[in-house]
Structure 1
């Protein structure tokens, strides 16, 4: 996406023009979005597509947290493997939850 630079090296006019175009597009989409002629199913599909990058970021963050949890568990098992193997599954689950929360 290219920007238009004026003689003084600024791009304020270009930025204002882009903001104006975005404002017009948003207002037009608001009218379309509120229309009763478009089904809820289509609106749901569009909403999902629009929100996908945000949802993908949230999933990525959650997966990152799970990877950190898994690595911590592997390290703990390496350090205290015999003790960990003897723990009851419920206690191990509680430990994992406590580790994930902290």
Structure 2
């Protein structure tokens, strides 16, 4: 694999992480807007978790991408925290929607 294709592959991966995190942020805010009337203030838990976790994922992957494209050997390995954070966001959104469905 050439250096150019490796760099574009890294960039595509970083952009997909950003799109995923931003989509979850938007989805969480929309979900809260539609469920607040039935669930009440408890529906604010989901966007709080989601917005903070997704902001961390955005920051984490941006710094990781910059480190990976820097000159020199890679100093750290990906530990799987970013996927776990996004799973936590999806679970928080699912619990909010489940509370909406059970409350109606």
- Answer whether TM exceeds 0.5 for this pair: no
TM-score by length of 1: 0.37
* Greater RCO, CA 8 A, separation 6+: 2
Instruction: Say which structure is richer in helix.
Output: 2
Rg larger in structure = 1
